[in-house]
Structure 1
Amino acid sequence: MATIEECRTALEKFSENLRGAEGDARDAAAMDRSVSCHVTDLDVTFAGRLMDGRIEVHDTFPGPPREKAQIRLALAGGDLVALVDGDLDFARAWGSGRVKLEAGLRDLFRLRKLL
């Protein structure tokens, strides 16, 4: 089980990875969307914005997301850290239900380029 700080660090690392993306991944990361990441085992939500090729976390609060973000992610803290570190395959984790990703259909098509 990851801590809140480890999850925050993983999100920062993911954001830096997005900033360095190239080609189709860079285009996908260039969206301007509200984002929430609910860490289910810690019951904490990171809320922010995907813009300019990075994720800016603006708020961290207990419980599920307070508002419906345009891109919503829900997973355990250990899975978040493993995904960012490359130790967990996103497609398999999403297919098995370990990771939940919700967004509009267009956003999902763009986001798949990041995976």
Structure 2
Amino acid sequence: MATLEECRAAIGKVSERITEIDPADRRKHIVERTVSLTVSDVDTVFDMRLTEDGMQDITERRPDESARRAEVGVTVSSDDLVALAEDRLDAAKALLGGRVKLDANFGDLMRLRKLL
């Protein structure tokens, strides 16, 4: 099981990778959305905004604490989060295999698919 610090670092890596994408592609595929990332085995939820500049306004809370419903919800284990961030786990395979659960509208799913 990865630590909370490793989870924070993984989110940072994902944010950095977003900024490495060509700016034109980011404008085309990234629409600002609120994101709730539930890391199931460390009992923590990271709330943030997905923007063209990466992940912004990242906060942590316990799953039982109330919060506004995010436009995109992701549930993943800490080890899988770290593996995804380090490109050791293919995002599409993780989604199809049930290791990552995604709660988003169809339009958001199609945009995210192009970034994976």
**Normalising by structure 2, what TM-score?**
0.89
Q: For 1:111, what is the secondary structure of its paired residue?
A: helix
Contact 2:15–2:54 (8 Å) recurs in 1: yes
Q: What letter is aligned with 2:99?
A: R
Structure 2: tracts of 5 or more residues without a match? none
> 2:18, 2:52 within 8 Å by CA — same for their partners in 1?
no
- After superposition, the Cα gap between the structure-2 partners of 1:83 and 1:24, relative to the gap in structure 1 and judged at 3 Å, is farther
Tell me the C-alpha RMSD between the 2 structures: 1.7
**1:109 is aligned to 2:110:** yes
Letter in 2 for 1:84: A
What corresponds to 1:80 in structure 2?
A: 81
Instruction: Pick which of 53-62 and 101-110 moved more.
Output: 53-62
Mapping for residues 10-25 of structure 1, pairs under 5 Å: 10-22=10-22, 25=25
Question: 1:86 Cα deviation (Å)?
Answer: 0.5
Aligned counterparts of 2:40 and 2:109: Cα–Cα separation in 1: 21
- Distance, in Å, in 1 between the alignment partners of 2:15 and 2:36 is 13
Query: What's the counterpart of residue 48 of structure 1?
Result: 48
Deviations along 1:9-32, one digit per CA (max 9) or x if unpaired, are: 100110010011127752323x11
Give me the whole-angstrom Cα distance separating, in 1, the residues matched to 2:25 and 2:98.
Answer: 24
Tell me how far apart the structure 2 counterparts of residues 32 and 10 of structure 1 sit (CA, whole Å): 20
**Identical counterparts, % of pairs:** 39
How many residue pairs get matched? 114
| TM-score, structure 1 as length reference | 0.90
Q: Which runs of 4+ in 1 moved over 4 A?
A: none
> Contact between 1:71 and 1:102, CA under 8 Å: does it hold in 2?
yes
